[in-house]
Amino acid sequence: MVYKRFSVRVVVRLLLLLLNMMALAVIVVQTNWRFSLLILAMLMVFQVYELFRFINKTNQDLARFLYAIRNSDYSINFSGQQLGSSFEELYGSFREITDAYRMAKIEKEAQYQYVKAMVEHLNVGIISVNRKDEIVLMNPAAEEILNRPNPGTWTRLAAKSPEFTRVVDDIKTGGQKLVEIALDRESRYLNIYVTTIRLPEDQYTLYTFQNIRSEIELKEIEAWHKLIRILTHEIMNSVTPIASLTETLVGMLENESGSVRSAEALPEDWVEDLHMALKTIDRRSNGLLHFVNDYRKLSKVPHPKPEKVRVVDLLERVHTLMQPEANRKGIALEVAPVVRSLEIVADPRLIEQVLINLVINSLEALENTTHPSIQLRCYIESNRRVLEVADNGPGIAPEMLDKIFVPFFSTKEQGSGIGLSLSKHILKLHGGSLRTASTPGQQTSFYLEF
């Protein structure tokens, strides 16, 4: 076994080389065997080559190992049993490293297959495009929504679905948009989100979208049902007493045969009843007319004429307009410090109307509050410009938060129930949103998001 060790094998090769050199020297000095001289010389060259090859085997194996790692070839095998314990330890380390890389590759492949299966089973369309305009990923949901197989490049997709790509190209990175697009003569409501992913080797633009037509239609039906219930309730509240009083008046003005009584035949107290009934009918009719007029206001909001508006100017105008009323009620109305260069693109007249409506609501809510105050703020949150109207009033009950934006719903006895609905509609026309958050007894905030 000793001859299997690397050091012994090197010594043997050196001894053989030395013996060969001695034999070569003897032949050169004492004999004339030229043919033997040639053979020994060739043998010596071979021995020198074999010795260097044997000694350099470690470097060669190391080079093979690094090359295999670079090319992800984990099938390479090393054995140092015939070279001694030191080489066995080295090659054992090689095997451990290749096994670790092999397991990492298996785990990475398993994770890739898992993510791929998950992406393929999502009902959200996903398209990934690299810098070369190549579509590197288009899941089945995207192909189904667009009714297009993977075209390979974004340019080809634009040729087949120009409506979709035109809308998507207008959305900036990190932006989101809800659009209605006609694809193959079918209308689809797509909620589209665009983001950019930067990797060391490339940059990818990721488009995610979902057809939410059925959800929108369901919400529209629910909204219509709520509106119809409210309209029915308000109309019935006015029409029922009118119909009842009218029937009573007809009975008073007709005799048993159905003929109209003469004025002289009417008792004096009936005349007073008739007058009171007619006044009630007039009052309820005017109430119904006001209700219809409020509905007309809600359904005929002028289309916004957007322009660049400095937020500080907008808030200061609202503060100037509402300060006298706030002072009269003993309420502190303040504009929180804002960046004076901060701008939004909006119709200043309509947004001012929304802010005034929200401030009026806060003024009414603070009537019985100790140390009442209203704050007008503006800031940037998640790439969105937010205008906030906050007060320290009694707040809104949690069960009412999802109802206050429903048309004609009001928590106030004399409220029309269209102010918040109208404000929310104005924000939607601007591509923004109006939301609220309330902690009863502490603070209520309305957020205008652009």
**CATH no. for residue 335?**
3.30.565.10
Whether 94 maps to a domain, the answer reads no
What is the per-residue pLDDT for 412?
58
What is the per-residue pLDDT for 326?
87
Among residues 211, 236, 256, the one where a domain terminates is: 211
- In angstroms, rounded to a whole number, what is the distance separating the alpha carbons of residues 450 and 434? 9
Supply the range of the domain harboring residue 321. 307-449
Residues 158 and 43 grouped into a single domain: no
Residues 153 and 230 grouped into a single domain: no
Total domains in the chain come to 4
Whether 421 maps to a domain, the answer reads yes
Whether 293 maps to a domain, the answer reads yes
Long-range contacts of 218-225 (CB under 8 A, 24+ apart): 223/406
Residue pair 125/135 in contact (Cβ under 8 Å)? The answer is no
Residues 415 and 338 grouped into a single domain: yes
Please, is 177 exposed, middle or buried when counting C-beta atoms within 10 Å of its C-beta (0-12, 13-18, 19+)?
A: middle
Whether 159 maps to a domain, the answer reads yes
DSSP state, 139? -
Whether 438 maps to a domain, the answer reads yes
Residues 76 and 133 grouped into a single domain: no
Closest CA to 209 of 117, 120, 126: 126
Residues 389 and 438 grouped into a single domain: yes
What is the per-residue pLDDT for 389?
92
Among residues 180, 211, 242, the one where a domain terminates is: 211
Strands 373-381 and 332-335: parallel
Residues 201 and 311 grouped into a single domain: no
Region for 231 from its dihedrals, namely left if φ exceeds 0, alpha if ψ lies in -120 to 50, beta otherwise: alpha
Whether 184 maps to a domain, the answer reads yes
Residues 58 and 76 grouped into a single domain: yes
Average pLDDT by stretches of 10, the chain with 450 residues: 50 72 68 65 73 67 74 66 57 76 82 83 87 88 85 88 84 77 73 85 86 73 70 71 75 72 69 75 74 64 82 87 87 83 86 88 86 89 86 84 68 61 83 86 88
Residue pair 69/99 in contact (Cβ under 8 Å)? The answer is no
The kind and range of the H/E element at 325 are helix 311-328
Residues 230 and 166 grouped into a single domain: no
State phi, psi for 307 to the nearest 5 degrees: -155, 165
Residues 152 and 184 grouped into a single domain: yes
Whether 97 maps to a domain, the answer reads no
- In angstroms, rounded to a whole number, what is the distance separating the alpha carbons of residues 148 and 161? 8
What is the per-residue pLDDT for 1?
36
Whether 8 maps to a domain, the answer reads yes
CATH number of the domain bearing residue 158: 3.30.450.20
**pTM over cut 0.75:** no
Residues 206 and 236 grouped into a single domain: no
Residues 293 and 360 grouped into a single domain: no
Strand partners, 346: 307
The kind and range of the H/E element at 309 are strand 307-310
Residues in the chain: 450
Residues 263 and 141 grouped into a single domain: no
Among residues 54, 83, 112, the one where a domain terminates is: 83
